[in-house]
Amino acid sequence: MLKTIMAVAACATLALGAGSAAQATDISGAGATFPAPVYAKWAETYKAQTGTAVNYQAIGSGGGIKQIKAKTVEFGATDKPLKADELAASGLFQFPTVMGGVVPVINVPGVGPGQVRLTGALLGAIYLGEIKKWNDPHITAINKGVNLPGLPITVVHRSDGSGTSFVYTNYLALKNATWKAKVGASDSVEWPAGIGGKGNDGVAAVVKQTIGSIGYVEYAYAKQNHMTYTKLQAAAGGFVDPTAANFAAAASHGQWSAAQGFYLLLLDQPGANSWPITAATFILVYKQQPNAAVGSTILKFFDWAYKQGDPQAAQLDYVPLPANVKALVRKAWLDVKGPDGKPIYVSH
Amino acid sequence: MASLKKSIRSAGNGVFIGLCFIATVLALAVLTVILWTLVVKGAGGVNLHVFTMSTPASGSEGGLLNAIVGSIIMCSIGMVIAVLFGVLAGTWLAEYGRNHWYAETVRFVNDILLSAPSVLVGLVVFEFLVVPFHGASALAGSVALALVAVPIITRTTEDVLKLQPSALRESGVALGTPLWTTIRQVLWKSAGAGILTGGLLAFARISGETAPLIFTAGGNQFFSLKLDHEMASLPTVIFNFALSAYDDLVRLAWTASLIVAVAVLAANILARTITRERRP
Amino acid sequence: MSAVDAAFVRRSPPKGAGFDPIFKWTCAFAATVLLASLTGIVIALAIGGAPAFAKFGFGFFTNSHWNPVTEVYGAEGPIVGTLISAILALIFSLPIAFGVAVFLVEFCPGPLRRPIGVAVELLAGIPSIVYGMWGLFVFAPLFAQYVQLPLMTAAPPGSIWDTLTQGTPNGANIFTASIILAIMILPYMAAVLRDLFLTVPVHLRESGYGMGSTTFEVITSITLPYVRRSAIGAVMLGLGRALGETMAVTFVIGNSHLLPKSLFDSGSTIASTIANEFNESTTDMHTASLIALGLVLFLITFVVLAIARALLGADKTA
């Protein structure tokens, strides 16, 4: 019996090995989990239209950076942009693809979506464990008319390293000096309070299960799970809702042309409607492509996505890049060279 | 006095029997609840598309074909490697090494490999097979799965061979048969059912392993048979889709879970049918 | 071909005997591959983790702060979490596994024996990640509502129960993780124990019954002593699995790197920490510390097995 199983398996292996050589060259990338649904959607449509398969694996932003540096993938993806000097050191080129927002979500009985208003400084104090109850005077002062109970606040954070945490802790550090001094900003930090959930979904589940809790998730999760989000104070002073329009408003103020290597966090942007925790997600490729065919296929795919992918991105609750940013990126692509020293892809 | 002692003894025995019964009911109840959850959340998604289409992006029509085929391919290759090395190593431990210090060392090493967290196996295979070849591949995934399965098969093979009566070996020697022929024709045959059970336990374990595949085989949105490229598998699809924001993908994750569970159930029943037929 | 024929004519040595050493060395090679795999894993972990050990020294084990921003890594929390969750899981699981094994061997009606045996083994086939999902979305909320909350409110303030039951009542804690782990290792231990009980010669057990012993007495004075050594092996198998289990624990343990203060406090294990952070670690020291954690996990497993073997050395007659 064992012999039969082994023989069958061995034959199958040989047959598969022989059959696989004939297929076309495909592209593989890996990294951030946040944009994975929209990359998968684009890749599906792109394959149907062109026959080229772009296989993207969601393993996390850190993983994306690590894998492109180890050259185990043809492109990496990250929510945590690399700074210009780090890009130069590793010979990488970086460009943004789509945007989204990080949204605080709460579970307080009797409170509906968008009823509670918070500021960045308050969020920092809550996450530091300094503000312990929902009816703390600091919270009630800006929430007149909302019936906040005397429940203890349970802080929920990501347990895994995450680009979402990177964006969120950067925002807290920007708005709360104590947070900046004590905790800092990174894709995983030593959380001073609370409990961890694995992934956006883990945080969402813990928040749903824990009365009196507050967490932070990507916009798509808050929207798809119908969670109770809060309003946040924009840089201009007013309180804004997390909506696609308000993310776009924040993005429109981004100083992309001044951002070296497109390193830009869209935190606390000016403008009355700008959602303060908005961020783009990025692609990493080598500036010097060893294989021109592979490199041009990657850029061709993302150029196609810039041209035709916006409706699909919006449908999945992502925010497309403004047209002027896309134009900037297309121009910068000329820096990606093939073995012959010429740009591998020119958009037209 | 004697009758009191006797009634205490039988009462104690009654309690013992009762507790054993409760333990079994508890175990079965847990299984029922988990399978019920899988059926409630997963059965609704079972349709023809699941077996004819590859994993979709959210909002598109799709199935699990690439993951099912990928799982079968990688588990099969993994099992071929594992059975090859496991049966031979187990045979060496039982028939040649015995109490030799080297055999004791290998036995100890095997016990540790049995307990080795699969996430570390994935990590090490990543360092040795993914980084040098610049990319995750189905082959690397298979090797990682094989590493998880080998110690189980080695241990079972050794245990089952040791249970074979030494009369079997002596009869071989008496007939002037070379030892290796005796092992192949007599011992392996009479121990076959036990080894097969070990193989199925190993198969059940690796068919649900997620951690070793994430770094090594990666995932693939599309149908692929290339052994030197990323390949999808059911556990990695569950891993990616279960934590997704979109209901349609989460439903597909539950369906994939149901399929894995049903496949393992089928493998178990199949193994038992074979075992029953082979036993004299 | 002719050489073989000649050998056959001389009738000595027997046909195919020449392959004996080849076969033996092939088998020995396979055994050596096992040894090489483990050596490879240990070396890879030791080299990868060396920078963390060099930087933090013994503090790596005694510091309970795990801080990726300041790059200070102390593994006390995950190490303690690993030990507590695995040992609790064993405590929950062993009596059940033992009960199931005894039931299957001694009392179970013949026609039901096979289906029940298969059913319990099927628990082992459910992927770890499904246990994690089930634990997080189905079990933890029920546990929080019907077990954790009542226990927390019933505990007299200031008593030891109060200390043990402190935490957030959401079901994501060390206790829940231990129960999920217990379910996961149950089928392994039950199956091995059952098979062991079946190896006890029928005449031994029958003679026990013949002397008027109850089932309880036959189990405790005949079956258990007969299989004692291997039974501890079965338990070790379970403990090893519980120590290294990754995906399921990650979902339900709460994932806090601090030292757990109570049974219902959130914690972390070594494996869950690696699974959570390895993909995302970008600084070299973070990676090194995670790999060092992996080495610690290996060492814990190693010590557990070494102690078990030392205990077993005394009655090594089997």
**Weakest mean pLDDT among A31-35, A178-182, C289-293, C306-310:** C306-310
pLDDT tier at C14, thresholds 50, 70, 90: low
Mean pLDDT across the stretch B77-87? 94
User: C74-83, C222-231, C300-309 — which one is most confidently predicted on average?
Assistant: C74-83
pLDDT tier at C145, thresholds 50, 70, 90: confident
Does the beta carbon of C302 lie under 8 angstroms from any beta carbon of chain B? Answer: yes
Residue closest to A10 by CA, chosen among B212, C301, B80: B80
pLDDT tier at B276, thresholds 50, 70, 90: low
Rounded CA-CA distance C154/C146 in Å is: 12
Query: What one-character-per-residue DSSP string does A56-108 give?
Result: EEE--HHHHHHHHHTTSSSEEEESSPPPHHHHHHHTEEEEEEEEEEEEEEEE-
More confident residue, B29 or C195: B29
**C37 with B181: Cβ contact below 8 A:** no
**Weakest mean pLDDT among B10-19, C138-147, C277-286:** C277-286
Q: What is the pLDDT of residue A115?
A: 92
Chains linked to A by 3 or more Cβ pairs within 8 Å: B, C
Q: What is the pLDDT of residue A20?
A: 40
Give the residue from chain C lying closest to B276, CA to CA: C114
Distance (Å) from the alpha carbon of B57 to chain A's nearest alpha carbon: 5
Residue closest to B237 by CA, chosen among A223, A123, C130: C130
Q: What is the pLDDT of residue B178?
A: 81
Residue whose entry in the numeric block shows the structure tokens 């989990």: A33
Rounded CA-CA distance B233/B210 in Å is: 9
- Which of C 159-218 lie inside 8 A of B, CB atoms? 183, 186-187, 190-191, 199, 214-217
Contacts of B86 in chain C (CB under 8 A): 30
Contacts of B246 in chain A (CB under 8 A): 37, 220, 224, 316
**A2 with B220: Cβ contact below 8 A:** no
Return mean pLDDT, chain C.
81
Q: Above 90 in pLDDT, residue C204?
A: no
**A13 with B80: Cβ contact below 8 A:** yes
Which of C29, C37, C47, C116 should one mutate to test binding to chain B, selecting the residue with the greatest count of B CBs within 10 A?
C37
Contacts of A181 (CB under 8 A, 6+ apart): none
**A209 with C282: Cβ contact below 8 A:** no
Q: pLDDT by residue (tens digit) across B212-248?
A: 888 788 888 888 888 888 899 998 888 888 777 778 8
Q: pLDDT by residue (tens digit) across B132-168?
A: 887 788 999 999 999 999 998 998 899 888 888 888 8
Strands of B49-116 (E only): list them: none
Mean pLDDT across the stretch B78-92? 93
Mean pLDDT across the stretch B195-219? 83
Q: pLDDT by residue (tens digit) across C28-37?
A: 999 999 999 9
Contacts of A12 in chain B (CB under 8 A): 73, 76
**B115 with C183: Cβ contact below 8 A:** no
**C122 with B30: Cβ contact below 8 A:** no
Contacts of B227 in chain A (CB under 8 A): 13, 16-17, 20
Mean pLDDT across the stretch C176-182? 92
**Weakest mean pLDDT among B16-25, B264-273, C142-151:** B264-273
Query: What one-character-per-residue DSSP string does C87-138 give?
Result: HHHHHHHHHHHHHHHHIIIIIS-HHHHHHHHHHHHHHHHS-HHHHHHHIIII
- Quote ipTM for the complex: 0.79
pLDDT tier at C12, thresholds 50, 70, 90: low
Residue closest to C201 by CA, chosen among A137, B163, A66, B68: B163
**Phi, psi (rounded to 5 degrees) for C233:** -60, -40
pLDDT in tens, chain A (348 residues): 444 555 555 554 444 444 343 345 688 899 888 898 899 999 999 999 998 999 898 888 888 888 898 888 999 999 989 999 999 999 999 999 999 899 999 999 889 999 999 999 999 999 999 998 999 999 999 998 888 988 889 899 987 778 899 999 999 999 999 999 999 888 888 888 888 877 787 788 788 878 889 999 999 888 888 899 999 999 988 999 999 889 988 888 888 888 888 999 889 999 899 999 999 999 999 999 988 889 999 999 999 999 999 999 998 889 899 888 899 999 999 999 988 888 988 887
Query: What one-character-per-residue DSSP string does C12-55 give?
Result: -SPTTTTHHHHHHHHHHHHHHHHHHHHHHHHHHHHHHHHHHHHH
Q: Above 50 in pLDDT, residue B20?
A: yes
Which of A72, A102, A164 should one mutate to test binding to chain B, selecting the residue with the greatest count of B CBs within 10 A?
A72
More confident residue, C269 or C6: C269
Residue whose entry in the numeric block shows the structure tokens 């039988």: B10
Distance (Å) from the alpha carbon of A45 to chain B's nearest alpha carbon: 9
Q: Is the pTM of this model over 0.95?
A: no
Q: What is the pLDDT of residue A46?
A: 93
Q: What is the pLDDT of residue C178?
A: 93
**B77 with A9: Cβ contact below 8 A:** yes
Rounded CA-CA distance C221/C239 in Å is: 25
Q: Above 90 in pLDDT, residue C96?
A: yes
The end-to-end CA distance of chain B, in Å, is 50
Rounded CA-CA distance A279/A289 in Å is: 28
Q: pLDDT by residue (tens digit) across C36-92?
A: 998 998 898 898 889 998 999 888 888 888 877 778 888 888 999 999 999 999 999
Rounded CA-CA distance C198/C262 in Å is: 41
Distance (Å) from the alpha carbon of B30 to chain A's nearest alpha carbon: 22
Residue closest to B70 by CA, chosen among B221, B241, B212, B215: B221
List the single residue in A187, A189, A198 with the smallest CB-CB distance to C255: A198
Q: Hey, what are B194's tokens?
A: 């036990």
- Counting residues of chain B whose pLDDT is more than 70, the rounded percentage is 95
Residue closest to B147 by CA, chosen among B200, B103, B213: B213
